[in-house]
Structure 1
Amino acid sequence: MSPSRLHRRSILLAAGTAAALTLAACSSGTDTGDSGGGGETTTVSVWHGFTEADGDVVNQLAEEFNASQDEFEISVEVNPWNVITDKLLPAVSAGNGPDLVVQPAAEGEGYANQGVFVPMDSFYENAENETETYYPHVVDYVTFDGAQYAVPMAYGPFSVWYNTEMFAEAGITEEDVPTTWEEWIDLAEELTVDENGDGEPEIYGLALPDADGTFLPTFLEAGGGAVYSDGEVTLDTPQNIETLQWWQDAYEGNWGPTNITLPEAVDLFKAGKAAMTVIGPWIITGAESVGLDIDVFEMPAGPEGVATQAAANYWWLTSQADEQTAAGAEAFLRYYNAHDSQVLWAQESYYPPNRTDITAEQIGDTPFVGTMIDHTENSYIRLYGVPGGLTDVNAELSTLNTTVTQGGDLAPATTETAESVADILSRFE
């Protein structure tokens, strides 16, 4: 199932164009030598917010790139993500921000609208960069008005992670791994343990968050619908209501807790109180920290196919970068997404590689990542294209989700939520 782009930016906002001109005028770059190739090294300032294994391998690749040549120097500054958000616009405006920065797609499009980020078409047009190996739908998320604005950095699909000991005790083998929603819920019911029959299981078969709307958009996609499509709220269609009704009926099996958030669902899994959960590849280090043996399979298919969300970050070039600094940024990104670098990235960060030409066998001793390679094709950025107001939209979807899991009349609840979401989004037109 190929993903559909839910939103396209038709034109740059006038304010964004003005901002771009202002930023270009005040940009000083970070070139420590002259751009005429006087033998000095050009420094490229890089900001990201990764502080775990993923951050370590980014920094390692930057150091290896620096050692591999003497024309450019990648200078990495690690800041908390909220600090980057607060500092990015004023820093780039003053010409002392990053030349290259990591941001998600939606935030990146907003900065592009303001002129903070600039197109990277030259990177994609250079055959040496091997961008034909990138997943098309991953690049599509950062293609606006035909211009390619960013380069894939980390794209992690949400998958179903399970407790291998619980599966083994229940006699569940690889042949029993579910491929459809129906099989998945049947398995969750089989793995649920309620020893005293009081309706409060000691072990749930599957822990999913229902106190937030985390998976609602991708469940609707797998059912053939969407929250938002082609600039319109499409939540309250009969098809979507049918999908939500299926999940409401499924929850009557008492295989999962209700009124929990995504972190709480993951905590139940890590504590051995749930046999399965759905999360991104960072669960690998979380499970290791508590001595939990786990394995993974792809999100089972809904009526219209497989759809799961992705945690996605990209490299963006800022408008403060001059010609020489931009050349250094592109050289680093070529190195970062090169075949061997992406093998290292996958092995050390536990994210699947950004390239389609790396096989599970090449990942070596990281079997989970090798398995997740195939999951990338069906993983999508949640609520992509919704213009602003995401916090408020999430709150509305979370309320609807509790109606799904805890009982309630879905048709009027879905219509009410659709109207609320449309009202929120109208503020950003």
Structure 2
Amino acid sequence: MKKLIATLAVVAGAAAALTGCSASGGSSSSDHIDLTFWHGYTEADGKVLDTIVDDFNKSQKQITIKTTTKTWAVIGDTLLPALSAKKGPDIVALPAENLPVYAAKGAFAKLDDFYASDATKQASLNPRAVEMEKVDGSYYGVPTGFVPLSVIYNKGLFAKAGITEFPKTWDEWVADAKKLTIDENGDGTPEQYGLALPDHATVGNGVWASLFYGNGGELVKNGTSALDSTENAQTLKFWSDAVINGHISPTGLDGVGSDKLFSSGKAAMEIGGPWMAGVATENKIDYGIAGIPAGPKGQAASAIGISAAVTAQADSAKKAAAEKFFTYFFTKEVATKWSLGSGWPPLRTDIPASAVAENPVVAALTAISGTARPLLPGVANSVDVLSAVDEATQKSLAGGDASALLKTASGQVQQALDGK
């Protein structure tokens, strides 16, 4: 990400110039409009998205969209250089946390008019998903994916431990994790852990944001670091104690290691995204998906998001054409098709879990989607913010003082927010 920010700085002038060009008149309303669309949906979800685009192309005669599939990493490496050379896409999908970075440099067009339209107002879009599209008071993207982190659990291991219901509170969660932790030879290193809880480098650090939210904490509030709080210190100490003293999870665990523990059957639970359902199936694990248990202040989960933006390369006619596609994308029929095909909950709140029941994973995630909160919406230096959180959580689970670590991290977060 630091490489990306450096690239942004180099091409910022070009991006700003593109913004100026986008205000020009562009094509006549009677001309046929061709749009290019880059996205990083490389699995079955990509095929479904391409089908939706094809259906849109066939639904009218004025606009044709051509999709190009790249990995998210390639999009991150090539988008700004391509735009500076005027060879970039008109529409691009990218991880939502990257949206503010590009928007702040003038690479994306404002979409306030799209959100002000009657069609969008009537689409019942998830307000939390929409929140992640706003930067400095304006909208720069539309959500194409918004899914709460959840807990995937091994039903077989739960049955062996005599646990018949998934825990609903943190205290119940830790108690069950202890029952599921097995150290057969008593050497202090369990052969089976109750929970794989990574302390760094995991799902954009949404795992720890979720835990902080559950106790009423925040990472950033109104553009200011909120990390150094009593609530966050209580949260970090609670989970550090559970890991260090309760041995419910290994220490020093990152996201990759967490996935491996669960997929190998050596951890009964893991906090993750919908892709873990596929991993569990591949490893022949009978799994369930549940919401993250409620903390002292309630149930909450950080969400993973994907945004689609119109680039500054697009003139006014292309921008209007892109917005027509977005309107089509958010119709109830298409939104349901996309949800089932992508494996993510519907982006419309008026599509119930029963409407996507043919996909049990989607139905389960839809049922808990109300707990989802965007991670650091509108924060351009989100990577530096999360890096500071990473350092605090990792050191705390290694035995460090939670309060002192959060105080230090909070200063680093504020520097990142101030652009220093």
Q: Could you tell me the TM-score, scaled by structure 2's length?
A: 0.89
CA distance in 1, matches of 2:376, 2:29: 45
Cα distance change on mapping 1:420 and 1:18 into 2, 3 Å: closer
Residue in structure 1 matching 2:107, options 110, 116, 120: 116
CA distance in 2, matches of 1:396, 1:299: 23
2:174 equivalent in structure 1: 185
Q: Structure 1 residues 259-268 or 102-111, which shifts more?
A: 102-111
1:209 equivalent in structure 2: 198
Q: Structure 1 residues 228-237 or 333-342, which shifts more?
A: 228-237
Matches within 5 A, 1:382-393: 382-388=375-381, 390-393=382-385
Matches within 5 A, 1:30-429: 35-37=28-30, 41-129=32-120, 132-173=123-164, 176-212=165-201, 214=205, 215-251=207-243, 252-388=245-381, 390-426=382-418, 428=419
Q: Over residues 310-340 of structure 1, what are the superposed CA-to-partner deviations in whole Å (9 max), with x where a residue is unaligned?
A: 1101111112222332232122212222212
Q: 1:26–1:94: 8 Å Cα contact kept in structure 2?
A: no
CA distance in 2, matches of 1:425, 1:127: 35
SS of residue paired to 2:47:
helix
- Which sections of structure 2, spanning at least 5 residues, go unmatched? 1-9
Cα distance change on mapping 1:21 and 1:415 into 2, 3 Å: closer
Letter of the structure 2 residue corresponding to residue 59 of structure 1: D
CA distance in 2, matches of 1:222, 1:123: 33
Q: 1:16–1:113: 8 Å Cα contact kept in structure 2?
A: no
**Per-residue deviation, 1:420:** 3.5
CA distance in 1, matches of 2:116, 2:416: 39
CA distance in 2, matches of 1:37, 1:420: 53
CA distance in 2, matches of 1:28, 1:411: 50
Q: Over residues 248-300 of structure 1, what are the superposed CA-to-partner deviations in whole Å (9 max), with x where a residue is unaligned?
A: 22221111111110111011111111111010111122222222221111011
**Per-residue deviation, 1:48:** 0.8
Q: Structure 1 residues 329-338 or 355-364, which shifts more?
A: 329-338
CA distance in 1, matches of 2:176, 2:86: 56
Aligned sequence identity (%): 36
Q: 1:19–1:114: 8 Å Cα contact kept in structure 2?
A: no
Q: 2:11–2:81: 8 Å Cα contact kept in structure 1?
A: no
CA distance in 1, matches of 2:183, 2:19: 64
Letter of the structure 1 residue corresponding to residue 168 of structure 2: T
CA distance in 1, matches of 2:343, 2:369: 13
**Per-residue deviation, 1:117:** 0.8
SS of residue paired to 1:179:
coil
CA distance in 1, matches of 2:400, 2:60: 63
How many residues were matched structurally?
Answer: 406
CA distance in 1, matches of 2:181, 2:318: 56
Cα distance change on mapping 1:253 and 1:342 into 2, 3 Å: same
What is the alpha-carbon root mean square deviation over aligned residues?
Answer: 2.5
Q: 2:181–2:190: 8 Å Cα contact kept in structure 1?
A: yes
CA distance in 2, matches of 1:254, 1:17: 48
CA distance in 2, matches of 1:208, 1:306: 18
Q: Structure 1 residues 138-147 or 338-347, which shifts more?
A: 138-147
Cα distance change on mapping 1:46 and 1:160 into 2, 3 Å: same
Q: Could you tell me the TM-score, scaled by structure 1's length?
A: 0.87
Cα distance change on mapping 1:196 and 1:18 into 2, 3 Å: closer
CA distance in 2, matches of 1:178, 1:124: 39
CA distance in 2, matches of 1:423, 1:360: 42
Q: Over residues 349-380 of structure 1, what are the superposed CA-to-partner deviations in whole Å (9 max), with x where a residue is unaligned?
A: 21111111111111132112112113222222
